[in-house]
Structure 1
């Protein structure tokens, strides 16, 4: 009997450690005009990703427009039902799980968090239109057996103004789709989302400011994460739900840790080292935490050979030094 208790303790510890290392190692797979084929998927497999977000889009004319236009012939293949289904099936065939993440795009790229109707009549039209959009893709998610469904992305004013709608929407989604649910809250919104206990993950688009340096070191960026980690852990414990980064990533530009949400094309100062160091800091600070489920890197384009590169200053890690960092980290934590 002397050896039984130590053996059991070792087994439990190994199980605990194993469960903590199985993270969601994911990319945000950008929709395209074309069908996805194996050549498009091989780089994701080689990245050691175990999840991908598939993102059908609905379009709105402006911040006060109540109609969501979606699944139309004018949209790209990967944004419509047929394309989403094809993407999911091909990802599944490669052993990659999927989060379906329907998103709204407002003309001229206005921030969805400000989306707000001005009359009760428009609110009702918008609610009906948005529910139709979400339930359409919840049905696709059920039909294709995706592992995770995201009910919305960065819609703070919509949630503040119409809380009952969201309770009803979640109940309607659960009638259609039986997998796990999340919502992608902006980094400065997630603490105020009232319905986390109805979902499985606290989704955060993690563009937290962590450094004001032109080229932050890994150590500096890790230090910058400390107050945010404390806050994230508290919200996780309060709601008894793990944190999932529904988006995270950095531009390969100077000062990219200062306001990581910025995406203006004219941002100056190509800086691949800043992107690499900031990404390393997330891996080193967040992934060891058992309340952290993993995350979806923003963003990954279908034609890998043509994407990113050493002169590219946008978010994608493709064909940049940070891609190798991601590949190694995903290998170690899959």
Structure 2
């Protein structure tokens, strides 16, 4: 659907379904259904030793089940059996958790090796998306230097994926990358991992965070209308801690004080600003673990909304839209 048609786009009320060492069970999916989610991203992984290493290692018996092809298939099939649509969203992990957006080769030969390795990795999962009838496929996650350095490769890769898979396509650009991504018009959605800074406050309130969205929202809307593509938050979320909206992308092990209310209000601000917009397609909260009863909780300062006030906010807005 045209992003600027003025019609209401059906919202994607999604969760980022974290790969586990084990198979998913019906109880794991029941928890997703209970918050009115209707979409999940399934995230198989490939691994790279260093940011300048051209070889991607994937689908090995040393990985967790949910991060492999077999595991992704089992997750997709179970989610589909429950009426939940699926985006297959392959990720790369660089040793020690280094940022994938900085991945950059030193020589032309290494760039070509990386291209060959990435093509094998991503087409493997595009084939899985076709085989399982996945509803959407994400061609990459936060790979700015790779995209910037090798635009012709990405153009060809998208064409190759289209030949294999007929569903919707997106790319998960980091929040400070998406305006420079060159191939949005070749995809169906402008995908953004939406960790935009909104407030410097320790304990920001709802209106402060809504105000913090305004400049970013204007930029996002303008790009959507210019390119005639709806915007999808391929990831969104906040940690349940003080200063949650200052640098929402932080994944460190800091011991900031748990702040459940700030996380809940940050999510509410995002829903209030975006979910009614006709050019906005919805998003996938980061992140949702299989074992719901023991995930998150009142002492946890990490991203998951599970067993926190933020879960009630999700249930409310996902039920509303």
| Shorter-chain TM-score tier | over 0.9
Matched, 1:97 2:90: no
TM-score when normalising by structure 1: 0.94
* Secondary structure of 1:298 counterpart: strand
TM-score when normalising by structure 2: 0.97
Match of 2:203 among 183, 208, 215: 215
* Secondary structure of 1:40 counterpart: helix
Match of 1:82 among 55, 60, 70: 70
Match of 2:136 among 141, 148, 168: 148
Report the counterpart of residue 134 of structure 1 in structure 2: 122
Which runs of structure 2 are paired with 1:145-294 in the superposition (5 Å)?
145-294=133-282
Maintained 8 Å contact 1:250/1:260:
yes
Structure 2 Cα separation of the partners of residues 158 and 229 of structure 1? 26
Summarize deviations over 1:284-324 as a string: whole Å, max 9, x none. 00111111000000000011111100000000000001101
Report the counterpart of residue 13 of structure 1 in structure 2: none
Maintained 8 Å contact 2:210/2:269:
yes
Structure 2 Cα separation of the partners of residues 126 and 281 of structure 1? 40
Match of 1:297 among 282, 285, 292: 285
Report the RMSD for the aligned CA atoms in angstroms: 1.0
* Secondary structure of 2:287 counterpart: strand
* Secondary structure of 2:31 counterpart: helix
Maintained 8 Å contact 1:21/1:288:
no
* Secondary structure of 1:20 counterpart: coil
Instruction: Specify every segment of 5 or more residues in structure 1 that has no aligned partner in the other structure, as ranges.
Output: 1-15
Structure 2 Cα separation of the partners of residues 316 and 116 of structure 1? 31
Structure 2 Cα separation of the partners of residues 286 and 265 of structure 1? 30
* Secondary structure of 2:8 counterpart: helix
Maintained 8 Å contact 1:91/1:97:
yes
Report the counterpart of residue 26 of structure 1 in structure 2: 14
Report the counterpart of residue 313 of structure 1 in structure 2: 301
Size of the aligned set, in residue pairs, is 317
* Secondary structure of 2:75 counterpart: helix
Report the counterpart of residue 46 of structure 1 in structure 2: 34
CA offset at residue 263 of structure 1?
A: 1.1
